Amino acid sequence: MNPDEILRIVDQIHLDRKIDKEIVFHGIEQALIIAARKHSGEDSNVVVHIDRLSGEISAYRDNIPLTTNEIAERIGAQTAKQVMIQKIREAERDALYNDYQLLINQLVSGSVHRNEANGACTITLSNTEGILPRSEKIPGESYRNGERIQAIVVDVKKSGTKLKVILSRSRPAFVERLLEQEVPEIQEGVIQIKGISREAGHRSKVAVACDDPRIDSVGACIGIRRSRIRNITDELNNERIDVVSWSSDMLTFIPQALQPANVDEVILCSLLGRAIVLVQKDQRSLAIGRKGQNVRLASRLCNWDIEIMTRDELDEMLTKAFDDFVAIKGISTELADRLVGEGFFTYDDLSIIEPSDLREMGDLSEEEADEIVEEAERLADENEKLIASRNNSSESPNINIKDKKESNAPSSNSETTVESSAENSAVSENEESA
């Protein structure tokens, strides 16, 4: 091979395919080595080096130098060309792989090339193709060929000489990137996104904060006449975005996360990671949301298990829990009162308490604490079977699968869960407008 021709090939590949020259030189060297071994045997020790400045090739076989003619004779031109093309494609793939590794969880845009039979989409990006799996699409979305869309990169895989770039539009990070794109204050770091909880295609909650008290972080994200947030909801196929103010104080943050409902009081039960939120009766369905969506997203955003109830419901639950606990051998009225005060309302709750916490709360021995936990587990199992039996006997032929699963979930007579509250609450007109 002519040295000038080698330099010309390297320069051309570098300019056309944006591959570093050193990678191209190395690929040519490896191609020549593989081709030489095919000619002289796989066990032969072949070393090839190309001078980066002159393009001159120096080669050794079993530590014996080879002349230019010998190189040409021993390395077939066609074989070397085929291997070189493969190596260059691999080098191009590796360069793209490194580029897209840096773009993981970052925003990219492209046009829809085709819709696959399995529901996935092939997206033409700037220098390769991306795959948008069905599971990563926003539910209910469909795309036309040639339509421009945005997504985030979630994974990059090598497949032979090709690259697989996996995209997503359904993850919380996609909403975060869109906010960064639309809100300059977030790009500049003036406003921070503290958390996002999302149910793609339906609703997202975003918690934002700002160290400068003069800046309204929520208002800046929403924009004048909702202009900024509207651009994001349009991109998300009209998915609702709730932007709330973040606080490190959960007593402040949880009511913010449950907007648009009004909260009367928040009671934190640290041992269980549970937050009991008291609301007025007319706010209950709004706080829970349709099918429990509002409280479910708020729970994820705050990382607390939030339960919505009225003051009357709480009083009834406290009384029932106290009576249930004092009936268990080994639990005094003082211990029962303390357990209820810490948010333990059901046998299920009591069955998962750490024995060390129970011993400390009731000044119990290890054996006494273990016996109480075992009894709580037994009672929880009995209660679950009783509820399942009642539900099975009262099921109607038209009950759906979801209702069956939820009615068979572990519970006690005194337990009020978020999901059951959501199922049994009528959705108010306020919730619809919110």
Which pair of tokens denotes residue 121?
A: 């989409």
Q: Rounded distance, CA 158 to CA 164, Å?
A: 6
Q: What is the pLDDT of residues 242-255, one digit of tens each?
A: 999 999 999 999 99
Which pair of tokens denotes residue 155?
A: 């994974």
Q: Report the C-alpha dihedral over residues 72, 75, 77, 83, rounded to 10 degrees.
A: -150
Kindly indicate the confidence band of residue 76, based on its pLDDT and cuts at 50, 70 and 90: low
Q: What is the pLDDT of residues 415-431, one digit of tens each?
A: 333 344 444 443 343 44
More confident residue, 404 or 85: 85
Q: What is the mean pLDDT of residues 166-184?
A: 96
| 12, 36, 37 from 77: Cα distances, Å | 20, 10, 14
Q: Rounded distance, CA 121 to CA 138, Å?
A: 12
Kindly indicate the confidence band of residue 74, based on its pLDDT and cuts at 50, 70 and 90: low
pLDDT score of 401 more than 60: no
Q: Rounded distance, CA 302 to CA 205, Å?
A: 10
The structure tokens 């909403």 sit at 175
pLDDT for the residue 65:
82
Kindly indicate the confidence band of residue 381, based on its pLDDT and cuts at 50, 70 and 90: very high
Q: What is the mean pLDDT of residues 196-203?
A: 96
**Coil, strand or helix at 168:** strand
Contacts for 111 with CB less than 8 Å, ≥ 6 apart: 123, 124, 146, 147, 148, 149
Q: What is the mean pLDDT of residues 5-20?
A: 82
Closest of 298, 201, 197, 178 to residue 250, by C-alpha: 298
pLDDT for the residue 422:
40
| 130, 136, 148, 345 from 133: Cα distances, Å | 10, 5, 16, 43
Which pair of tokens denotes residue 266?
A: 């928040």
* Distance, CA of 71 to chain centre: 55
More confident residue, 177 or 41: 177
Q: Rounded distance, CA 33 to CA 36, Å?
A: 5
Please tell me the total number of residues recorded for the chain in this structure.
434
Q: Which of 235-244, 354-363, 397-406 has the lowest mean pLDDT?
A: 397-406
* Distance, CA of 196 to chain centre: 10
pLDDT score of 196 more than 70: yes
pLDDT score of 66 more than 80: no
